Amino acid sequence: SYVLTQPPSVSVAPGQTARITCGGNNIGSKSVHWYQQKPGQAPVLVVYDDSDRPSGIPERFSGSNSGNTATLTISRVEAGDEADYYCQVWDSSSDHPYVVFGGGTKLTVL
Amino acid sequence: QVQLVESGGGLVKPGGSLRLSCAASGFTFSDYYMSWIRQAPGKGLEWVSYISSSGSTIYYADSVKGRFTISRDNAKNSLYLQMNSLRAEDTAVYYCARQAAANWFDPWGQGTLVTVSS
The mean per-residue pLDDT over the stretch A49-53 comes to 95
Strand, coil or helix: B25: strand
Q: Would you state the pLDDT for residue A68?
A: 97
Cα torsion A82, B99, B109, B63 to 10°: value is -90
Q: What confidence tens digit (pLDDT) does each residue in A9-34 have?
A: 999 999 999 999 999 999 999 999 99
What stretch of H or E contains A47? strand A44-47
Q: Would you state the pLDDT for residue A95?
A: 73
User: Which residue type does B17 have?
Assistant: S
The mean per-residue pLDDT over the stretch A25-52 comes to 96
Which segments in chain B show pLDDT lower than 50?
A: none
Q: What mean pLDDT is reported for chain B?
A: 96
Cα–Cα distance for residue pair A45/B86, rounded to 1 Å:
30
Cα–Cα distance for residue pair B23/B6, rounded to 1 Å:
6
Q: Would you state the pLDDT for residue B2?
A: 95
- The DSSP symbol for A55 reads T
Q: Do B45 and A43 touch (CB under 8 A)?
A: yes
Q: How far is A96 from chain B (nearest CA, A)?
A: 7
Mutate: best of A99, A101, A106, partner B, most B CBs <10 A: A99
Residue A106: CB atoms within 10 A of its CB come to 16
Mutate: best of B48, B104, B108, partner A, most A CBs <10 A: B104
Q: What confidence tens digit (pLDDT) does each residue in A60-110 have?
A: 999 999 999 999 999 999 999 999 999 999 988 777 788 999 999 999 999
Q: Would you state the pLDDT for residue A91?
A: 87
Q: Would you state the pLDDT for residue B101?
A: 66
